[in-house]
């Protein structure tokens, strides 16, 4: 980290924070946390692993987020040596520089082991986004207890699950619920994209990792062909993660229906506000889609061995966050072999149908998503900063 700045009010050295955000969604969460902390400590410095949202906050990037954005056992194995080397070098640097606090944002496979080492060396640690021990891998709770001084939870039921294990935790709401308006501006989003208000529009969100694009985008594009055969007037919008934009544009350009697909650089929230339905990869984007109150079809596909290992560890019948949080299949999930282009297209067309039953189904879904939004909406940045302030002060004084 660079030479410490001074607090304007006290003249004391501003606290130094180390942070790791392991994927695009974590980068956004971390940026909001950093904003909240800087409201209390304006001169706070932060460095580590992050992406464009953190960089926009003046974060010093030692490695970019995409270095860790790998999902699936087989996919991780391909990048294992590089990821381990990054963690080893990061650990050595942090032990030498001794920041006042380390915050690991999501990415538990990378962050929890690192947090355990740092905490054992006397550096306070916080994990933001509790690992979903209620969904899979419950054995991870012991590592969480050893690794974390405090856990910031984004779902309201999580602190009570961690408390019996002696893990300090605070529910801070889900940051996305504060960013996404309760009533999205569909007309404004469509105007910004140049799409007529009456034009039926489907958002395609095939994921933010290379492996997801490799596995899901060809299926989504094949589904587009089927959808266009049934509904020739359909248009599509595909927000691309900047790091994968070239790859995505090349695949879309090779599609016979490329003229009907608008590829955006980022702008996933604009796409979701504008669309009538979404075809979306399982992950944080499904929750974003729910907060935009849009019908969706959740899809996922990975290497067969990764899928077999993942299925063995799952503890619930759902993988999509909207279904998990609602406790039932409020939207369809088409996973692995079920994620065929024909099935994806059929499920999407069901949401777009123009009959009384489909209208009622959409209205029920919007009501569920409105209730979910209200439950998750909190002043996350302030609550998170308040929860970890004692640890930051403790580390600062050490």
User: Mean pLDDT across the chain, nearest whole number?
Assistant: 88
Contact 19, 46 (CB under 8 A): yes
- Residue 200 near residue 235 (C-beta atoms within 8 A): yes
Copy the structure tokens of residue 18. 């180390």
Q: What percent of the chain has pLDDT over 70?
A: 89
Q: Is the predicted pLDDT of residue 280 greater than 50, yes or no? A: yes
For the residues 264-293, what does the mean pLDDT come to? 94
Give residues with Cβ within 8 angstroms of 301, minimum separation 6: 215, 216, 219, 307, 335, 336, 339
pLDDT in the model for residue 316: 65
**pTM of the full predicted structure?**
0.74
Confidence of residue 73 (pLDDT cuts 50, 70, 90): very low
Query: Any bridge partners for residue 63, and if so which?
Result: 49
pLDDT digit string (tens) for 144-166? Answer: 999 999 999 998 889 998 999 99
Q: What are residue 151's phi and psi, to 5 degrees?
A: -120, 130
pLDDT band at 9 (very low <50, low <70, confident <90, very high): very low
Q: Which of 156, 99, 149, 106 is nearest to 128 (CA)?
A: 106
145-182 per-residue burial string, b: 16 or more CB within 10 A, e: under 16: eebbbbbbbbbeebbebbeeeebebbbbbbbbbbebee
Cα 138 to Cα 74: distance, rounded to the nearest angstrom:
21
Q: Considering all CA atoms of the chain, what is the largest pairwise distance in Å, rounded to the nearest integer? A: 67
CB under 8 Å to 360, separation ≥6 — which residues?
A: none
Q: Which residue has the higher pLDDT, 312 or 202?
A: 202
Q: Label each residue of the chain as H, E or C.
A: CCCCCECCCCCCECCEEEEEECCHHHHHHHHHHHHHHHHHCCCCEEEEEECHHHHCCCCEEEEEHHHCCCCCHHHHHHCHHHHHHHHHHHHHHHHHHCCCEEEEECCHHHHHHHHHHHHHCCCCEEEECCCCCCCECHHHHHHHHHHCCEEEECCCCHHHHHHHHCCCEEECCCHHHHHCCCCCCHHHHHHHHCCCCCCCEEEEECCCCHHHHHHHHHHHHHHHHHHHHHCCCCEEEEEECHHHHHHHHHHHHCCCCHHHEEEEECCHHHHHHHCCEEEEECCHHHHHHHHCCCCEEEEECCCHHHHHHHHHHECCCCCCHHHHHHCCCCCCEEEHHHCCHHHHHHHHHHHHCCCHHHHHHHHHHHHHHHHHHHHHCCCHHHHHHHHHHHHHHHHHHC
Of 17-21, 276-280, 391-395, give the lowest mean pLDDT range: 391-395
Q: 357-378, pLDDT tens digit by residue?
A: 999 999 999 999 999 999 999 9
Compute CA 318 distance to the chain's CA centroid, rounded to the nearest angstrom: 17
The single residue listed with the structure tokens 């992406």 is 51
The average pLDDT across 229-254 equals 94
Domains of the chain: 16-173+378-393 (3.40.50.2000), 186-376 (3.40.50.2000)
Can you tell me the distance from the alpha carbon of 275 to that of 294, in angstroms, rounded to the nearest whole number?
8
Q: Which of 316, 313, 278 is nearest to 297 (CA)?
A: 278
CA dihedral 320, 140, 27, 148 (to 10 degrees): 140
The pLDDT, as a whole number, for residue 8 is: 47
């Amino acid at each position: 980290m660079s030479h410490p700045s001074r607090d304007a009010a006290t003249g004391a050295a501003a606290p130094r924070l180390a942070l790791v955000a392991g994927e695009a969604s974590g980068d956004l969460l971390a940026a909001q946390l950093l904003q909240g902390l800087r409201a209390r400590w304006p001169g706070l410095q932060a460095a580590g692993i992050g992406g464009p949202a953190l960089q926009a906050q003046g974060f010093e990037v030692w490695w970019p987020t995409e270095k860790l954005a790998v999902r699936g056992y087989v996919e991780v194995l391909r990048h294992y040596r590089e990821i381990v080397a990054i963690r080893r070098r990061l650990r050595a640097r942090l032990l030498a520089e001794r920041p006042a606090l380390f915050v690991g944002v999501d990415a538990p496979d990378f962050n929890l082991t690192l947090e355990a080492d740092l905490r054992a060396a006397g550096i306070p640690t916080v994990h933001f986004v509790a690992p979903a021990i209620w969904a899979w891998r419950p054995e991870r709770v012991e590592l969480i207890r050893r690794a974390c001084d405090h856990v910031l939870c984004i779902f309201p039921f999580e602190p009570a699950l961690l408390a019996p294990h002696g893990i300090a935790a605070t529910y801070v709401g889900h940051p996305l619920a504060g960013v996404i308006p309760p009533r999205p501006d569909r007309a404004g989003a469509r105007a910004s994209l140049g799409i007529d208000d009456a034009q039926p529009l489907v958002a395609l969100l095939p994921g933010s990792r290379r492996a997801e694009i490799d596995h899901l985008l060809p299926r989504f594009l094949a589904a587009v062909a089927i959808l266009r055969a049934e509904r020739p007037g359909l248009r599509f919008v595909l927000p691309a993660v900047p790091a994968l934009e070239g790859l995505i544009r090349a695949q879309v350009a090779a599609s016979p229906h490329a003229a009907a697909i608008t590829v955006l650089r980022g702008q996933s929230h604009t796409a979701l506000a504008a669309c009538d339905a979404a075809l979306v990869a399982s992950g944080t984007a499904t929750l974003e889609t729910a907060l935009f109150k849009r019908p969706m079809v959740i899809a996922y596909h990975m290497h067969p061995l990764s899928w077999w290992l993942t299925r063995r560890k799952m503890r619930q019948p759902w993988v999509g966050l909207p279904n998990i949080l609602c406790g039932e299949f409020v939207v369809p999930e088409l996973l692995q072999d079920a994620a065929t282009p024909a099935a994806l297209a059929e499920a999407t067309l069901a949401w777009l149908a123009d009959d009384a039953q489909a209208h009622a189904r959409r209205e029920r879904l919007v009501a569920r998503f409105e209730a979910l939004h209200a439950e998750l909406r909190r002043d996350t940045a302030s609550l998170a900063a308040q929860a970890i302030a004692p640890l930051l002060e403790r580390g600062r004084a050490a």
